[in-house]
Amino acid sequence: MSERKTSNRGSDAPSQMAPFDVWAEWMRANMGPMTATPGASVPWLMMPGIRTGEDAAELPEGAVRNDPLLSTVEKLWDANPMQSVLPIDWVEITRALQTLWAREMSDPARAIERATDFNARLFGATMKSWQEATNRFWGLGTSQEEEDEGRPDKRFSAPDWEQNPFYETLKESYLLASEYLLDEAEKTDGEDTPEQRRLKFHLKQFVDAMAPVNYLLTNPAALKRTFETGGASLAEGARNLLSDLQEGRMSMTDANAFQPGENLAITPGKVVYRNELIELIQYEPTTEKVHETPVIFIPPWINKYYILDLQPKNSLVKYLVDEGFTVFMISWKNPDASMEDTKFEDYMTNGPLAAAEVVRDITGSEKVNPVGYCVGGTLLAITLSWIAAGEDENPFGPPTFMVALHDFTEVGDTEVFIDEPQIEFMEQQMLERGYLDNRKMANMFNLLRSNDLIWSNVVNNYLLGQKPPAFDLLYWNSDGTRMARDAHSFYLRNTYLENNLIKPGKVEVKGRPIDLGKIEGDIYAVGAERDHIVPWASAWKISRLANGTTRFTLANSGHIAGMINPPSKGKGRYWATENGGDFDTPDAWRENAREHEGSWWEDWSRWLDNRSGEKVDPPEIGSENYPPIEDAPGTYVKEK
């Protein structure tokens, strides 16, 4: 930023924007005024293109085109090849900073007061860092250990962040500025509105991106490795970056370390049925007797099914098979342009309905106990409602919903990506291609945990020049699927955008009105305490929407780790009540739920055991009508 522009801001502005200037100073000192470092050249310190708090409340459509700053940011980032590996929305970040600036300027006296407080805290933190360094030099004790509280920030785990006063001051300056920025977003508008949540989300993205650990010259571990390797780490990092640019995505794990059918999804079984949308896998029994009623998994089609069958040590499929259940799995086809007219109802008829008939034919069982995971749980609820609205025989027994949304009033951070303009944009892309590219979904989910899934890989792959780790969960996370145009548009509009599933009869599928209140009988539902995709309070709502008795269980951890928690790990805890519907609110449920140590898998297995009939001889793999086609995991799961 030039001196002329700085002087035009007035004598008080630098003090009022102290946290921004802290970043500016070390960015300029370490990176120079212009740099190729991702995000560093974004002109976020310039005066905003809007004038008052009123103007900032809601920028009109076309603001990016009309605002010179936003237009410039958009063009610069679109032209930057790094945007293919760093899915950061600098336009929205800049807009959020503009909005916050306008709020600050609407009350200059308060802004000065807050800046004064910030500067005092920054001075205190700086003096403390140097005092601690002096104490260490003279062999005196420090208060560092006693004052460390809460969960440590693993970004700053290198010893230099605590032992070197320069880096410690830099870290404390960054943390204070981050706290100031996010706190200001809260205090200048405390209302919990979609606009406010969007603002805080993009400010958090900015804060995460600006962490000094993400840049070579302010990352002591990266500098140390550069000197130790004679610069070889920088060359390796450059090779890693070039490889990712060619692939059009960031590598999060060693892509050569895993392969479905070799060391993932290896529970023995056969594909016993295939249509244009699914393959159905039947797993081989491991016990002499099995429960009479089989279990069928309906996984989400936005991911590959093998999250439920990663490796033997953490496979939910293997766990159930070893517990004496006959298990079937739907494996969805990865859509291409030829499937653009595939409708949402096709996912129902060619998915759970078709699969259930095959399972009944093979096992001879009257009922099949269905398990809907994430989006698969939403599809399962719609399927059960559709059956209840007609006169068809219901092939399903008591259902299980794993981190599934049915009421989309509160959807967590994903709401930032779902509004009318963004859905229209996705629909336009799908109209051109016939599908939604899997990278769009992957980028969205990665941004929800940007420190863990984006910036940690920037540091490891590019700054340290190391290979991505071999981690089965991250491999699965990177092995995405495309979305069929027609079906995905129907799903997004009727769920995230309009929340029609909670309105009885509002949604029609194959001529029948969908009413979740027609789902009756016993239900098992599980949410995850720290789920950023399906908030547990929303997962609980099936207890009130359905007309049955719902045993609701809350697992600790998040959307994936909370679900994939085998008892053999000896970790975790969960909370449960016999009927979640007895309580008016999720908070009331939580107050009355009983805490248990261990994995919720065991609780669910006991619940299933009482609803799965007598023990019988295992059925044959396949039948006369549906002979085995090939070994599990089949063909569809391997399609890229």
Alpha carbon distance 126, 133 (integer Å): 11
User: Has residue 78 got a pLDDT over 80?
Assistant: no
Separation of alpha carbons 615 and 54, rounded Å: 68
Q: Is the pLDDT of residue 437 over 50?
A: yes
Q: For residues 52 and 49, give the distance between their C-alpha atoms in angstroms, rounded to a whole number.
A: 10
Mean pLDDT of 70-91: 73
Q: Which is catalytic among the residues 69, 374, 442, 542?
A: 374
Please classify residue 156 by burial: count the beta carbons closer than 10 Å to its beta carbon, then call 0-12 exposed, 13-18 middle and 19+ buried: buried
Q: What is the pLDDT of residue 70?
A: 62
The encoded tokens of residue 133 equal 């360094």
Q: What percent of the chain has pLDDT over 70?
A: 83
- pLDDT confidence band for 124 (50 / 70 / 90): confident
Q: Which of 161-175, 395-409, 605-619 has the lowest mean pLDDT?
A: 161-175
Tens of pLDDT, residue by residue over 533-580, are 999 999 999 999 999 999 999 999 999 999 999 998 888 899 999 899
Residues 6+ apart with CB under 8 A from 393: none
pLDDT, residue 16, reads 41
> By the 8 A CB rule, do 367 and 493 touch?
no
Residue 32's pLDDT is 41
- pLDDT for the residue 138: 57
Give residue limits of the domains in the chain.
Answer: 3-146+154-228, 269-411+484-638
d(CA 217, CA 375) in angstroms, rounded, equals 43
Q: Which of 42-51, 122-131, 327-336, 487-496 has the lowest mean pLDDT?
A: 42-51
Instruction: Report the range of poorest mean pLDDT among 113-122, 203-212, 505-514.
Output: 113-122
Listed residue (254, 362, 261, 256) closest to 309, CA to CA: 261
For residue 137, count other CB atoms closer than 10 A to its CB: 9
* Range of 434-438, 557-561, 631-635 with top mean pLDDT: 631-635
Tell me what pLDDT residue 358 has: 98
- Determine how many CB atoms are found less than 10 A away from the CB of residue 236: 18
Check residue 349 and give its pLDDT. 97
Q: Indicate whether 1 pLDDT > 60.
A: no
More confident residue, 310 or 148: 310
How does the average pLDDT of the chain come out, rounded? 84
Chain position carrying tokens 């002329």: 4
59 catalytic per annotation: no
**CATH number of the 269-411+484-638 domain:** 3.40.50.1820
Buried b (16+ CB within 10 A) or exposed e, 461-481: bbbbbeebeeebbbbbbbbbb
Residue carrying the six token digits 């939910």: 316
CA atoms of 627 and 327, how far apart (whole Å): 17
pLDDT at 143: 53
What is the pLDDT, as a whole number, of residue 68?
A: 63
**Do residues 383 and 404 make contact, with C-beta atoms less than 8 angstroms apart?**
no
Side chain identity at 323, as an amino acid letter?
Answer: E
Q: How many Cβ atoms sit within 10 Å of the Cβ of residue 393?
A: 7
CA distance 211 to 172: 11
pLDDT at position 296 = 98
Among 6-10, 76-80, 264-268, 510-514, the least confident range: 6-10
**At residue 42, does pLDDT exceed 70?**
no
**For 528-538, what is each residue's pLDDT tens digit?**
999 989 999 99
User: pLDDT tens across 161-203, in order?
Assistant: 988 888 888 888 889 888 888 888 887 666 778 888 888 899 9
State residue 57's pLDDT score: 39
